[in-house]
Amino acid sequence: MSNEKIIGAYFLANDTVYDWAIAFLESFREFNPSLCLYLIPFDNNYLKIKSLENNFYFEIFEDSLFKRLEIIGSQLEIGRTATSPYWFRRFVSFWGPLDRFIYLDSRIVVLNNLEPLITALDTLNCDFFHFEGGLDQVYNAGYLREKLVIENKVQGFNSGKWISKKNLFSIEDLEKIGFFLKKNRFQLNPRNTDQFFLNYLIHTSDIKYASIHDLMPHLSRLTWPPMPGDIYRENKIYKTWSYGMPEHKKEMVFIHWAGIKKSPIMPRRTIFLKYRLKSESFIIKGKIALQDLLLKPILWFYTKIKRNKLINKRYHSLSQFVLKIQK
């Protein structure tokens, strides 16, 4: 019997993020033409995404434990994000068909070959790689955070992209963590339920985990679109240009539009459209370009007004007043 490990990637999507999924799949297959890829359905609304299965060579991974994962998510939700329990479906990747894998959200454009990152789990003798930091997006100030930082020297990481191994955790392990976090919910970020869940799961486990940037320093830590500097391509490899800064001329892995809406004024839209429109006709590309040209100044002005300090304070004061009346 062969001991060869199956490596690949999982992504989470439904038809609501169809445009994002197209860009993700086009970019993924440009740099990873033969890597195994599985779709984890976000919910039952994925017929359009399913129709892309043969074009982009992915399979659909359904699991009988989706409901138990959603229950964990719903118990941690405090009314900020109605769909957040479905994000917990991503954790089926811990017992899916892939032995070594990378998990990716669909609002990502892949800009590199991912196989060396996945196989590095074995070459570097590690169980879990995470990307970038952000402890405030995970834990609130309090005993839980202080203990983890002092004793474990933890780094916060994004739950939309990570690399790991099969069978590190079972559904029972996840339910146990969920029960503990429910009792300590006030010490956790009010919005990012799946993110603080995965962070705490990893931070309190016995597995070996690390930032992939600390172990593979040629990779740029910059993945969020409002990054400083520019992105350029050299010998078919995307790199960051941020002269005088630590990330200068490092390789890009991907761009992740976490928390950013798709619009003509979204940062790094040129790269998004390059892959979203890669297989579209010149007519469609021209139509999008014209729409952007017309809408961009309007949206830019609207955003400026919306972010104005005085207007923003008045808006939130009014919102709180309306909530009090409704109660």
Q: Can you give the pLDDT at residue 129? A: 97
Domain housing 180:
7-215
Same-domain status, 211 and 299 = no
In the listed set 156, 188, 215, which residue is the last one of a domain according to the structure? 215
Mode of pairing for the β-strands spanning 108-110 and 254-256: antiparallel
In a domain, 78, yes or no: yes
Q: Can you give the pLDDT at residue 239? A: 94
Instruction: List the CATH number of the domain containing 209.
Output: 3.90.550.10
Q: Are 25 and 106 in contact (CB under 8 A)?
A: no
Same-domain status, 69 and 162 = yes
Q: Which tokens go with 232?
A: 């350029």
In the listed set 196, 215, 234, which residue is the last one of a domain according to the structure? 215
Question: How confident is the prediction along the chain (327 residues), in pLDDT tens digits per residue?
Answer: 457 889 999 999 999 999 999 999 999 999 999 999 999 999 999 999 999 999 999 999 999 999 999 999 999 998 767 788 899 999 999 999 999 999 999 999 999 999 999 999 999 999 999 997 788 889 988 888 998 999 888 889 999 999 999 999 999 999 999 999 999 888 898 888 999 999 999 999 999 999 999 999 999 999 989 888 899 999 989 999 988 888 899 999 999 998 888 888 888 989 999 999 988 888 888 887 787 777 666 666 656 666 666 666 665 566 565 545 544
In a domain, 123, yes or no: yes
- Distance from the Cα of residue 2 to its chain's centroid: 33
Number of domains composing the chain: 2
Angle at 10 between CA 8 and CA 13, to 5 degrees: 155
Angle at 114 between CA 94 and CA 119, to 5 degrees: 65
In the listed set 183, 215, 247, which residue is the last one of a domain according to the structure? 215
Same-domain status, 158 and 301 = no
What pairs with residue 314 in β-bridges? none
Same-domain status, 201 and 306 = no
Q: Can you give the pLDDT at residue 228? A: 87
In a domain, 286, yes or no: no
In a domain, 245, yes or no: no
Same-domain status, 160 and 306 = no
Same-domain status, 34 and 136 = yes
Q: Can you give the pLDDT at residue 27? A: 98
Of 109, 108, 72, which Cα lies nearest the Cα of 87?
72
Give whole-number Cα distances, 60 to 29, 124, 237, in Å: 16, 30, 30
Same-domain status, 297 and 204 = no
In a domain, 169, yes or no: yes
Same-domain status, 141 and 29 = yes
Same-domain status, 73 and 174 = yes
In a domain, 237, yes or no: no
